[in-house]
């Protein structure tokens, strides 16, 4: 079955530690996205990538980094510079890079990051 997988489901971070969240898709989608979800705040865009080897900052990129070396994969690293990382992180993908029209984004099951 085609879809988006995120791992791990739960992740614990110690003070000063970098952690990496995995996102893989087998939908052959070009574009991929990372969102952060906090209670009562909806979803906020962290980073997005329209094609391999290219990515752009979203609205809240500070303290995060990404890479896009393969079409199927878009890992997110939460660095020690992110002072309030506790949140639910959602990865999404869409079929084509944006151009004339908006493509639907499909979401993975999410990773909950907790700080020890």
Residues that bind another protein (CB under 8 A): 4, 6, 31, 33, 40-45, 48, 50, 56, 58, 88, 90, 92, 94, 97-110, 112
For residue 91, which of 47, 52, 38, 61 has the smallest C-alpha distance? 47
Nearer to another protein, 18 or 56 (CB): 56
Kindly give the pairing relationship between strand 4-7 and strand 19-25: antiparallel
State the DSSP H helix or E strand holding residue 91, giving kind and residue range, or none if neither: strand 87-94
Nearer to another protein, 63 or 97 (CB): 97
Least distance in Å: CB of 108 to another protein? 5
């Amino acid at each position: 079955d085609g879809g988006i997988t995120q791992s791990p489901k739960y992740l614990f971070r110690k003070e000063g530690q970098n952690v990496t969240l995995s996102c893989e898709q087998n939908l052959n989608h070009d574009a991929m996205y990372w969102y952060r979800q906090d209670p009562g705040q909806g979803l906020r865009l962290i980073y997005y990538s329209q094609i391999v080897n290219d990515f752009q900052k979203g609205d809240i990129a500070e303290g995060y980094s990404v890479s896009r070396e393969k079409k199927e994969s878009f890992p997110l690293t939460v660095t020690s510079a992110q002072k309030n990382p506790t949140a639910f992180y959602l990865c999404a993908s869409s079929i084509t890079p944006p151009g004339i029209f908006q493509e639907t984004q499909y979401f993975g099951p999410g990773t909950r990051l907790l700080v020890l």
